[in-house]
Each structure stands twice: as structure tokens, then as C-alpha cells.
Structure 1
């Protein structure tokens, strides 16, 4: 092993806290505090193709009509992906769960929105908002829970001298994994600071980790991993991740599975059926998840993950430099497809960069220089 490899991740873990005057990572008086992410919404022209990939990825179908497809995990929550038939493929927005109807009333009163009934197939109430990036954000309560589905049992492991499996072989089947639940969504925004403050002030979310471009910490963070504030109840390291970039767009969403074998064997099934692998398997630094990334037939990136960090509200944000090599602790380096630097993305990325630099937003020439350093670091 070369000396350059030894200690390659020293300093990349977010063990360093904020400096004086840096963003605190939480609001002093948020309007409400959401409890979790509820679902994501997409438009797709081909529901049959979307459902075929969904089943290969590990979802079950909760509802299927000529115009709508609801996908769920095995946990007894509402459907975690809602797909409607549309003329073009697009990401429509995200829904978060409120603790009570009273929170919806308060949110509506303070924002000028209104409380509305959700469709009968979902149940409950909703307040529809728009974040500073223009993304539709719903806050919902009272949705109808689904009955739990059979869970995928983690395999017994022999770890060191602790033996859970004797006279029995280990043969994980190469079948679709079972998605348990929606864990998080990652979006890119040209108005990162405004969007960050909006989620903290409006929905009461709190930052787990900040990332900043190489050499630009004094200019402030450019990515944040944000969790729900449930007090002493641990919650996912990030339910939402925001990244500054040249366009307002969906980046990926992540869905929990039972263990590494379920993730790996499920990936082999996807590979056998011709679906596009993006990056993995590896273990992240921020959030610590074991991950594997895929693209659906419409090009949207989706992640299987397991063994993620769970934080309560007492932890303050960590700060780390944003580098491509710092996206994982082990595994292959981040791919060009994952980073958006592959030839198939190049033309669109250049167009977005030029548009952003001509527009009034937070993505200026200094941020472009920082972003280019990220891809090479």
C-alpha cells in the first residue's frame, strides 16, 4: 500500500464543528417540526415500464390505475413513491409528515397556504408549499397507513468468534431485494442558502453535516445533510440533502433494505435484467450508509442503502471539505455517471452551467471553480 493511500480519509470525517459566526444548522423558532419524509412524486409517460423496474428494485405496488402508480416498501407506512402518467418524465416534488393536523393549521396560517384533503386513496390532509428553488413541498398528516408486508430477514453472520451459523451454508438468493422504506431525497438548487434556511425555519429540520468547496470555507457551505428534529428520538442522519449547483433538480432518492447481502444480491438481480448501475457498492462518510446506486429506465438515480447513522437532536453539525474522494470510506471511486461528468451528461451540464452563470443566483464563477475542484479531488 502506498503512503498516499494510508490515511487518505484523515480529516474527511465531519468531526470538526463550526467556526465562530458560521451557520448554526438549525432555526431558533421554526414554524413546525416535520417528523419524516412521506413520499416523492414523479410524472412518467410509461407506467408499465416504471412498474417493471420498481418490482426489480424491490418495491411493491400499492395502487395501479390507468393514470397512477403508487409504490411502497414493506414497512406499514403510506406509499413512498407516487407516479402519475404524464407527457414527459419529471420530478414533481416531495411530501413530509407532520406530527398532527394542528401543525398543518399553524403552517397554513403562517404561510398563507390552505389545508386541503388528500385523495381518498391516500387519506389525510395536506398543505402545499413551494421552496425557494421552486420545488413543490407538501406537508401531510393523517394519511392512511398500509398493512405491513413480509420483511426480508437479515442473514445470520459469523463475526469473529461469535458464531450464529453452524453446519449451515450462506446462499443469499439472487432475487429483488425488499425495499423497507424511503430514507432520503437529494436535490440540487441554485439558491442553496435561501433553500436551506427555508427548510430549517419552515419545517424545523436540522443540519447533521455541512460540506464546503475546496478552499472556500470562508464563502460558506455548499451542501447540507438535513435531518428531522424529533428530540430524543433518533432519526436518519439525513432525510433531505441540499447541494448548490447550476440547476434546480432532483439528484437521487434512497431506500432502505435489510442488510448488505440483500443490497448486493438485489443489485445482481438488477444487473442480470439489464438495468444501469451508477455507483457502488461502498460506504458513505456523511451518514455512514452502505450504498448502491442505480438508474431507472427514465434516467432517475435511486439508491439502495443499509446501516445508516441515526442521530437525535443533541448533535451539532459537522463540517468537512466537499471532495469526490470523500464521498465514501471504501469501495470504488465515485463514477463519472454518479458525478454527472460522463459524456452522456456533458452537453446538458455545460448548458446548465452557462445558464446559471448568466442568471441571478448563488452559483457564480467562484462556485464554478470550486465545483470543478470537487470533481477532481
Structure 2
């Protein structure tokens, strides 16, 4: 165990015994946005590099070798389209397609490779891809020489991290909200072979089961990110945020200064999370979507069982400022108004988000 509190007898095990396949990693996220010029300007300030630019599409990447981290296509409105996960081999794409009755298709020439496109229980497309083009690594952020204790390595020299973009290394994870959380969780575990690192539950409602999970890839003895996907119960099916790894705390802080100087909106941070341990900093893109810089996250192999903890706002971080109203989604905004409408609508439907769950969520925001 990596925490003091584990699962109780009969609680969700956080994995399935015989998944169809086990995905290797997250590959990329896809969005539509009406203004690609504005989207690219923020992406460059946030620390991405552009690998493809057309009037209808941009591809964004990090410095590590790999495919794109984000694909943005022109659309009438800002929308999260879906997630692509990387299969360990072409054979896994074919196996998944055969097991689900879907066809394998070729990805566009700008990507290369093959894919099978499924639909999760919320109705969102999920691609599993392989054989896509891999770009060579780019030069990374300039590293610093630190004087931590002894010996002193930096002598007769100063430390001056410049205000510049925090260069994205790679896509780390995406967080999704679902009205039927358990159904969606089990679908991802069954179809993609993901396993749960941590469960959260509403205080006083543990007997009803978890309401959030931090989910990692199962690569056996090879350590992987504490979470590649996180999923939470809520009144609507939506994107919550996505997270991108950068080199260190200096990159996060100086990169934040760079974003502030260009007028972009900060949401919450800098701090260190509990589940996943990563140093974090959250920003809003020009369309209001939440994105995270992170560094120094936990890496787990498949041997660890899920941890369990109550969900509280104060329990989101080991240190750092209190979770902001913007991050919690309770600050006045178009998005919070939409979520309020979703609450009223969800309570009238047959799903997992009922009046008791709403009370639990309200306690989280007040905690």
C-alpha cells in the first residue's frame, strides 16, 4: 500500500481480472475551437511546440519524442472531442476491434498509424491507436544548478530563471466528469486494462462507493504515472482538465510569470497534490478550459492496490494556497452557470448523481 487506508471487504477492487487489452499510455487529446490563431498563441505561451499548422487544424507536441499531445481542429464552438490511448502493439488494436465489433481504420496521413474508435457509456469517442508517427525529441528546458545542502555546486554564479514558457515535455493525464461514474469506470478498466491508484468517496457516504478515481496504465513491473486518466462523479458529462509535464518547479513558476505577463488567467497553484504527489499549477485557456503544468509526479507499477480517502477541498494539496473558487467550479462564470443547470437536470434523471450525492459534493466545496 502507498497510503494508510485501503479498500474494505466488498469494495471496488480497482481493476478487472481479464481486460480485453492493456493500453500502453495516453496518446493525445482532441478539441475543436473556433479561433485557431488565439488557441495557438496560448499554446505557445503555455509551452507547446507546433508540428502541424493548417487553416483547419493544429497539432501541439512536447519536447519528448512521440506523437502530438493535443490536436485542435476548427469548429463552430469550443469542445472537447475525446482521448486517444496508445496500444502496446498493432495486434492490440485489432484485438479490441474484434472484441467490440468495430472496424480498424487508418489515421490521417498527418498522424500515420491505425486506430479503433469506441464510444464510452457517456457517448464520448475513445480511440486506441498504434503505429502513428513519432517525432524526434526537441531540446528541453535549460536545467539549473542548485545549492541544496553540501556540497555547493554553484559558486561565483547566480540563479536567474528567465520568464519564458515552461516547455511541455509530454501529456500526463486527463480528468473527466461522468453522471454514471461507476459504469464509465468499469468500462475503461474492462476495455483498456487500466487500474485504479486511488479512490475518493464523499464523507459519510463511503458505503455508497467511490465518487472519484485516479487511474493508471497497467504495464506490469514497469512504473507508470500515478494517473493517466482521472474520473469523477458529477451532474454532467464533461472535460474537467488536462495536465502536461514540465521539468521542475522553476519552470512552473517562471512559466507562470510568462503567462501572467501576457494576460492569461491563473486558476490555482502553485502547490503539491496528495494523490499523485505532483507539483501543480492551473491555468485557463482563452476559451475557459482548465490546463495544468505539473512536475515530479508519482510512478507506480502494477503491484500496488488502490488507496481510499474522503474527498475534501483541503485534501487536494499537501501544501499551497487553498483550492480557489475558480478551480472548484463555484466562481461566477458561464461554466458554473451551465453546471448549475446540469445539477437541476441531472436530479430529474436516472443516474448516479442524486440528492445525497449533491449534498456530498456541496460539502466538498465547503471543506
Question: Would you call these one fold, judging by a TM-score over 0.5?
Answer: yes
Q: What does residue 9 of structure 1 align with?
A: none
Q: Where in structure 2 are there 5+ consecutive unaligned residues?
A: none
How much has 1:165 moved relative to structure 2? 1.4
Q: How does 1:86-125 map to 2 (within 5 A)?
A: 86-125=75-114
150-159 or 192-201, larger mean C-alpha shift: 150-159
RMSD between superposed Cα atoms in Å? 0.9
**In the alignment, is the contact (CA less than 8 A) between 1:14 and 1:286 conserved in 2?**
no
Q: How does 1:298-309 map to 2 (within 5 A)?
A: 298-309=287-298
Q: What does residue 29 of structure 1 align with?
A: 18
**In the alignment, is the contact (CA less than 8 A) between 1:59 and 1:71 conserved in 2?**
yes
- From 174, 178, 187, the counterpart of 1:189: 178
Q: Is structure 2 residue 248 aligned with structure 1 residue 259?
A: yes
Tell me the distance in 2 between the aligned counterparts of 1:225 and 1:207.
6
Q: What does residue 143 of structure 2 align with?
A: 154
Q: Map Cα deviations across residues 97-140 of structure 1 (whole Å, 9 max, x no partner).
A: 00111101110011111100000110000000011111110000
- From 368, 371, 375, the counterpart of 2:358: 368
Q: What does residue 248 of structure 1 align with?
A: 237
Tell me the distance in 2 between the aligned counterparts of 1:353 and 1:149.
44
Q: TM-score, normalised by structure 2?
A: 0.98
Tell me the distance in 1 between the aligned counterparts of 2:45 and 2:278.
21
- From 101, 118, 122, the counterpart of 1:129: 118
Tell me the distance in 1 between the aligned counterparts of 2:219 and 2:153.
35
Tell me the distance in 2 between the aligned counterparts of 1:153 and 1:227.
30
Aligned CA distance change for structure 1 residues 374 and 54 (closer, same or farther; 3 Å)? same
The number of residues matched between the two structures is 365
- From 68, 72, 81, the counterpart of 2:57: 68
Tell me the distance in 2 between the aligned counterparts of 1:164 and 1:237.
32
Q: What does residue 351 of structure 1 align with?
A: 341
How much has 1:162 moved relative to structure 2? 3.5
How much has 1:349 moved relative to structure 2? 2.2
Q: Is structure 2 residue 10 aligned with structure 1 residue 17?
A: no
Q: What does residue 331 of structure 2 align with?
A: 342
Q: What does residue 10 of structure 1 align with?
A: none
SS of the residue 1:83 aligns to: strand
SS of the residue 1:43 aligns to: strand
Q: TM-score, normalised by structure 1?
A: 0.96
Q: What does residue 4 of structure 1 align with?
A: none
Tell me the distance in 2 between the aligned counterparts of 1:103 and 1:291.
33
Aligned CA distance change for structure 1 residues 249 and 346 (closer, same or farther; 3 Å)? closer
How much has 1:29 moved relative to structure 2? 0.1
Tell me the distance in 2 between the aligned counterparts of 1:162 and 1:103.
50
Q: Where in structure 1 are there 5+ consecutive unaligned residues?
A: 1-12
Q: Is structure 2 residue 205 aligned with structure 1 residue 216?
A: yes
Aligned CA distance change for structure 1 residues 346 and 254 (closer, same or farther; 3 Å)? closer
How much has 1:154 moved relative to structure 2? 2.8
Q: How does 1:260-279 map to 2 (within 5 A)?
A: 260-279=249-268
SS of the residue 2:266 aligns to: strand
SS of the residue 1:343 aligns to: coil
- From 331, 344, 351, the counterpart of 2:320: 331
Q: Is structure 2 residue 28 aligned with structure 1 residue 39?
A: yes
The ranges of structure 1 where at least 4 consecutive aligned residues each deviate by more than 3 angstroms after the TM superposition are none
